[in-house]
Amino acid sequence: MDSHKKICLGIESTAHTFGVGVLDFEGNVYSLVNDIFTPKEGGLHPVLVKEHHLNNFMITIKNALSKANCSIKDISLIAFSDSPGLGQVLKIGALIARMLSQILKIPIIGVNHCIAHIEIGRLMCNIEDPLTLYVSGGNTIVSAFESARYQIFGETLDLSIGNMLDSFARDAGLAHPGGPKIEKLAQKSNNYLELPYIVKGMDLSFSGLYTAAKRLIESEQYGKNYNLSDVAYSVQETCFAMLTEVTERALAHTEKKEVLLTGGVAANKRLQKMIEYICKEHNARFEVVPLKYAGDNGAMIGWTGILRYKMEGGQKLSDTFIKPKERMDQITVPWRD
Amino acid sequence: MDSNIMKEKIIHKGAEATLYYGSWFDKEVIFKYRIPKKYRIEELDKTIRNDRTLNEARALIRVKDYGLNVPQVYEIDTKNSIIVMKYIEGEKLRNALESLDNSRKEEIFKEIGRYIAILHMNGHIHGDITTSNIILTKNHKIFFIDFGLHEYSDSIEDKSVDLHLLKRILISTHGKDFNMCFNAFLRGYHQEYCKEATEECRQIIKNIDVIETRGRYVKKEERL
Ligand SMILES: Nc1ncnc2c1ncn2[C@@H]1O[C@H](COP(=O)(O)OP(=O)(O)OP(=O)(O)O)[C@@H](O)[C@H]1O
Ligand SMILES: Nc1ncnc2c1ncn2[C@@H]1O[C@H](COP(=O)(O)OP(=O)(O)OP(=O)(O)O)[C@@H](O)[C@H]1O
Ligand SMILES: [Mg+2]
């Protein structure tokens, strides 16, 4: 590592991933370390997640620094996720960031997690002004930059896509996370069972689809007329077609020339293929964010922190509060103008 | 095809359909052709194209009864998912809006609000109210198009979602006019709806805010 470069440490702590990234102000990432809390059963309990992050943050930061081949003293900026997410978990990230900022006497900056997903995608894919489809365990958003903001053109009205896939998988007896397992199973079938397809303008609803899929595996026909692969295939074909339709509608509406696919669900090959298809139709460039940067990670927080820091400088410590419900379209992005 | 029927040029490639301008006997028309979408499997694609074509044609015919300006339907070809409808000469509100003066903007949105209220009161949900789906004609008429996602419903939730879609498109695409236009829209909507059901109208409008705080970021402990 070049010792003359300015280095930022980014901390991601909105949900089950405690992530740390070390990168310089030009966007070269030196290390990326994630410590992911996986519940033994059921959903995520904020208290358990919080405990996990508290127990592991020191070692995670140490690992990230040593992988980056640098010492804590080389850091000149701390960025942390201040929104949106679980309040208790966001607080941990903020606490650690404030502590480091005070001890090291370096500036601190809070970052919106959703915007960070887009910014790291723009950096890694070298893409300028994309329409973004951000699909993960917590979010399902179609966004593009318009009149000084990352505007939300479409989103889910109920469940997020990842949550729907994981919940269905859990009901079918598959281990968490269910998305990749459903993808594998789906490859073994081409027997389509009809499921509710619900699109409202550029918005989506997955709860009807979830209930119907669940009913299919509880039915007497299950295991006789069709199997789990068939249901997995039908779920994927339905929900990904919905996502593709609203993305195409947003693409036609915004007339953007680039499309970025990100979030954990972006790993799905079938979804990638569908989105790629509409991009060809509209002569738009298509990019999937590389996997380690598509899921939650510290580098995305660091990079977005750097972008804002370059425009506005650091935040006052007293301004570094967390905002669990903040929407990405409420935030100005001065570096995009 | 009949020589009296001619597709002349593509005027729009949308998410759902390719639209051709052309002639049908002595009339200027639009061919709304829901072409197969190869990204989805054939079974699903066929159903969607078929349903939406029928759905849109039926809605266009029905909502005329309420005094709404919509293109007249001349022919429906369900086999190929094509609707032949009257060509409406004018400009999309999306493109026209910026050059209008403020009082005209307010007038238009108030009028749109009135018409959407009439639809809702009669159990029709437009399903995709955007400024791309409204055409202004030279003689100041407001035409509503694109009823592919139309639904029948009397529920407050469905009506609120309909308004929420318009609200969001105004924020994202016409940011600086959002407040003025949406307020004018709500005034028109409220005025018309309250002729019949004040309390229901209040609930529909209130529910828009509820929808907005949903979906966003569902806290993980609140997930299924
Ligand atoms: N191949 C795949 N196909 C479908 N879904 C997948 C695949 N791989 C991962 N997923 C899903 O991605 C989700 C995890 O996404 P991510 O790593 O972005 O974490 P997250 O905490 O849910 O994200 P965020 O906080 O940004 O909402 C899970 O729902 C998982 O099932
Ligand atoms: N009857 C008509 N007369 C004149 N122009 C029309 C007519 N119908 C549609 N158009 C034009 O074609 C465009 C697309 O039409 P429409 O919204 O019905 O298609 P779509 O594929 O559903 O679009 P999207 O799904 O992207 O909203 C309209 O914005 C309008 O400019
Ligand atoms: Mg349209």
Q: Answer yes or no: is pLDDT of B219 > 60.
A: no
Query: Of the candidates A164, A184, A183, A182, which has an alpha carbon nearest to the alpha carbon of residue A174?
Result: A182
Q: Answer yes or no: is pLDDT of A131 > 70.
A: yes
* Mean pLDDT of all residues in A281-307: 97
* Mean pLDDT of all residues in A216-225: 96
Which chain B residue lies closest to A329 (C-alpha atoms)? B172
Closest ligand, as measured to the CA of B55: 2
Instruction: Classify B44 in phi/psi space as left (phi over 0), alpha (psi -120 to 50) or beta.
Output: alpha
Closest ligand, as measured to the CA of B37: 2
Ligand 2 near A291 CB (within 6 A)? no
Q: What is the CATH number of domain B5-86?
A: 3.30.200.20
Which amino acid is present at A55?
N
pLDDT tens digits for B113-137? 999 999 999 999 999 999 999 999 9
Position A207 in a domain? yes
* Mean pLDDT of all residues in A288-297: 96
Q: What is the CATH number of the domain that holds A160?
A: 3.30.420.40
Ligand 2 near B50 CB (within 6 A)? no
pLDDT tens digits for A14-51? 999 999 999 999 999 999 999 999 877 666 788 899 99
pLDDT tens digits for A259-292? 999 999 999 999 999 999 999 999 999 999 999 9
Position A125 in a domain? no
Query: What pLDDT sits at residue B218?
Result: 44
Average pLDDT, chain A: 95
In the reported structure, the alpha carbon of residue A137 is separated from the centroid of ligand 1 by a whole-number distance in angstroms of 5
Position A109 in a domain? yes
Number of domains in chain A: 2
Of B44, B216, B223, which is closest to A163 when you measure between CB atoms? Answer: B223
Residues A97 and A160 in one domain: no
Instruction: Classify B200 in phi/psi space as left (phi over 0), alpha (psi -120 to 50) or beta.
Output: alpha
A70-97 burial, b if ≥16 CB within 10 A, otherwise e? beeebbbbbbbbbbbbbebbbbbbbbbb
Residues A280 and A302 in one domain: no
Average pLDDT, chain B: 92
Residues A24 and A114 in one domain: yes
Residues A135 and A279 in one domain: yes
Residues A31 and A134 in one domain: no
Query: What pLDDT sits at residue A2?
Result: 59
Residues A284 and A314 in one domain: no
Q: Are B71 and B88 in contact (CB under 8 A)?
A: yes
Query: What pLDDT sits at residue A162?
Result: 96
Query: What pLDDT sits at residue A31?
Result: 98
Residues A265 and A158 in one domain: yes
Give me the helices (H) in A172-227, please: 179-186, 207-218
Which atom of ligand 1 lies closest to the CA of A176? 31
Cα–Cα distance measured from residue A253 to residue A151, given in angstroms and rounded to the nearest whole number: 13
* Mean pLDDT of all residues in B140-156: 96
Position A100 in a domain? yes
* Mean pLDDT of all residues in A171-195: 96
Ligand 2 near A252 CB (within 6 A)? yes
Q: What is the CATH number of domain B91-222?
A: 1.10.510.10
Residues A12 and A71 in one domain: yes
User: Is ipTM beyond 0.85?
Assistant: yes
Position A265 in a domain? yes
* Mean pLDDT of all residues in A180-188: 98
Position A27 in a domain? yes
CB contact under 8 A, A253 and B173: yes
Q: Answer yes or no: is pLDDT of B149 > 50.
A: yes
* Strand A131-135 relative to strand A140-146, pairing: antiparallel
Cα–Cα distance measured from residue A326 to residue A83, given in angstroms and rounded to the nearest whole number: 6
* Mean pLDDT of all residues in B34-55: 96
* Mean pLDDT of all residues in B203-222: 72
Q: Show residues of chain A in contact with B207, CB under 8 Å.
A: none
* Mean pLDDT of all residues in A138-142: 95
Structure tokens given for A194: 């009809």
Q: Answer yes or no: is pLDDT of A147 > 50.
A: yes
Position A59 in a domain? yes
Any chain B CB within 8 A of the CB of A171?
no
Query: What pLDDT sits at residue A3?
Result: 62
Position A124 in a domain? no
Q: Answer yes or no: is pLDDT of A59 > 50.
A: yes
Which residues of chain B are at the A interface, by a Cβ-Cβ cutoff of 8 Å? 13-16, 37-41, 43-44, 47-48, 127-130, 132, 149, 161-162, 164-165, 168-169, 171-173, 175-176, 211, 213-221, 223-224
Residues A149 and A98 in one domain: no
* Domain interval for residue A173: 130-288
Asked if residue A130 has a cis previous peptide bond (ω within 30° of 0), the answer is no
Residues A184 and A247 in one domain: yes
Residues A172 and A304 in one domain: no
Query: Of the candidates A100, A165, A124, which has an alpha carbon nearest to the alpha carbon of residue A287?
Result: A124
Residues A166 and A256 in one domain: yes
